[in-house]
Amino acid sequence: MHPFVHAASHPDRIATVMAGSGATMTYGELEARSNQVAHLLRANGLKRGDTVVVFMENCLEYLAICWGAQRAGLVYVAMATKLTAEEAGYIVSDSGASVIFAGASLAAVAANLPVVTARYALGGAIAGYEPYEAAVAAQPTSRITDESCGRDMLYSSGTTGRPKGVRGALPEGKLEDGEALTGMVAMLYGFRPGMVYLSPAPLYHAAPLRYCMSVHRYGGTVVVMEKFDPEAYLANIEKFHITHSQLVPTMFVRMLKLPEDVRSKYDLSSLEAAIHAAAPCPVDVKQAMLAWWGPKIHEYYSATEGAGFTSIGPKEWLERPGSVGKAILGTIRILDDDNKDLPPGVPGRIFFAGGPAFSYHNDPEKTAATITEHGATFGDIGYVDADGYLFLTDRVAYMIISGGVNIYPQEAENVLTMHPKVADVAVFGVPDEVMGEAVKAVVRPHNWADAGPELEAELLAFVRSKLSHVKCPKTIDFLPELPRHDTGKLYKRLLKDKYWAKA
């Protein structure tokens, strides 16, 4: 399906609502606005295969602009909002964008982006930009005559270098033809007409953007949170009678650490499926969430590139705690450093063979390094059990080699995350003259006043009570904030590099 089908049959049904402001857009309004966006893009000379950039915080117009670009056969780049002007400018230039849509709240960066064919400002003025509201209102609400299917091109987060755009072929066929994701979310999570989906993460990230657009294909309602807040998330489930949602593990942790009276305050009975991915979820965290919400929590493992996909439901997970499921897209291969297949239970580099094709925009070398003769690999380490269920261990870049022993810091992170005085934690290797590397933890305490030797000793004793001392941090430092992406992804490289630079 496509939103225009639902606009014809149910024009007054709510397509999108902003959780904080309550602003809404019906399917009839979404159809009209996305048509106006498509006309505006054609008026600027854009044709099938051209590129636009969307540089906005979560807002009501976000998905409408993406649908306008999609029905015009364009490539739309949803750009992260925390980028510097230099980083954002690189993406605009690298993508070859002809049009930029930017939110006024990001004016300091947007004003310094490259001059392209047209730049439009939403929600206020930006120097060098035309007002979006006036420009789009001047366009007709009828469909353009040369509609075709466009798609997103999303950039990697770039924590180890320049971000790269993940590019797939433009879809062929009619707008209303289904996509692979559309069928997958129905099969796995019960996406359906009438569903109400809560999206708590930034829309520029792959999963929130693609899943929200899939909800629109089914004629459901997307409830967009302007920014995640743990109690507000629970309140929104009750207020909007949410049936489906997608989260990341850090959101689970923040909700679990709410006071018990707050956690039990809201009616969550409407929720049918909560989906999580993006980062490994500590076993203790997921067990606590399943005990609280019941068997409604589903997990998958994939990447923006879409070359592979595993999935596991709540009942399966309880039988295999820690697994991210079996492959339903691509074939999993676990290889050693010599590219030999490893047996079940032995960790190695994860490859997906036989998945959908993709490339990195303007980077054939990275494409060739990622898509190998053995399959596509994204730097993760893991193993499969005898039944083919995948377990993630860590990322290759974060594996610590101390005294010749391979240590996966995710284990210590998972333990420390559950300590009641820990708000956030990162574990990584630092230089050590004798062992080569030593295990270091950096913690953000819930109460900054607790930071110091006594809390360090308490946390070290806590993690040593649960893990082999070889896997445990030797020392713990404290920071008031850890570098995290809005989606919850930890930028561990930024922390690790500082310690190595000092050495």
Q: At what angle do helices 61-71 and 206-218 cross, to 10 degrees?
A: 80
pLDDT given for residue 395 in this prediction: 76
pLDDT reported for residue 347: 92
pLDDT in tens, 190-208: 999 999 999 999 999 889 9
The 10s digit of each residue's pLDDT in 442-476 is: 999 999 999 999 999 999 999 999 888 888 999 99
Q: Measured between alpha carbons, how far is residue 424 from residues 247, 416, 446 in Å?
A: 17, 9, 8
Supply the pLDDT for residue 487.
62
Share of the chain above pLDDT 90, in %: 71
3-state secondary structure of 360: strand
Q: Give 440-489 as a DSSP string.
A: EEEEEESSGGGTTHHHHHHHHHHHHTTS-GGGS-SEEEE-S---B-TTS-
Domain boundaries, the chain: 27-173, 399-502
Range 436-440 average pLDDT: 89
**Residue 456 to residue 440: CA distance in whole angstroms:** 12
User: Confidence class of residue 68 from pLDDT cuts 50, 70 and 90?
Assistant: very high
Query: pLDDT band at residue 478, thresholds of 50, 70 and 90?
Result: very high
Q: What is the pLDDT of residues 372-381, one digit of tens each?
A: 888 888 888 8
For the chain, how many helices (H) and strands (E)? 17, 29
Q: What 3-state DSSP class applies to 19?
A: coil
**How close are the terminal C-alpha atoms of the chain, in Å?**
57
Q: Which of 195-199, 321-325, 398-402, 415-419 has the lowest mean pLDDT?
A: 398-402
**Is pLDDT of 494 > 90?**
no
pLDDT for 159:
45
d(C-alpha 165, C-alpha 469), whole Å: 41
Look at residue 268 and tell me whether its pLDDT is greater than 70: yes
pLDDT of residue 160: 47
Q: What's the whole-number mean pLDDT along residues 5-32?
A: 97
Q: How far apart are CA 17 and CA 83, in angstroms?
A: 26
pLDDT digits 0-9 by tens, 76-86: 999 989 888 98
pLDDT band at 55 (very low <50, low <70, confident <90, very high): very high
Which tens digit of pLDDT belongs to each residue from 124-183?
A: 999 999 999 999 999 999 999 999 999 999 987 654 467 888 888 888 888 888 777 788
Which strands, in side-by-side order, build the sheet including 422-432?
422-432, 436-445, 475-478
Q: Is the pLDDT of residue 243 over 90?
A: yes
Same fold, 27-173 and 399-502: no
More confident residue, 82 or 227: 227
The predicted model gives 278-298 an average pLDDT of 91
- Is the model's pLDDT at 269 over the cut of 60? yes
SS3 of 281-329: CCHHHHHHHHHHHCCCEEEEECCCCCCCEEEECHHHHHHCCCEEEEEEE
Residues 6+ apart with CB under 8 A from 26: 11, 12, 13, 14, 15
DSSP 104: G
CATH topology of domain 399-502: GMP Synthetase; Chain A, domain 3 (3.30.300)
What's the whole-number mean pLDDT along residues 419-423? 94
pLDDT given for residue 488 in this prediction: 67
Provide the pLDDT for residue 148. 96
| The model's pTM | 0.84
Q: What's the rounded mean pLDDT across residues 259-267? A: 96
Contact 383, 345 (CB under 8 A): yes
Mean pLDDT of the chain: 92
CATH code, residues 27-173 = 3.40.50.12780
- As to burial, measured by CB atoms within 10 angstroms (0-12 exposed, 13-18 middle, 19+ buried), residue 236 is buried
Q: 69-73, 306-310, 400-404, 498-502: which has the minimum mean pLDDT?
A: 400-404
pLDDT recorded at residue 492: 83
Q: Which residue has the higher pLDDT, 35 or 499?
A: 35
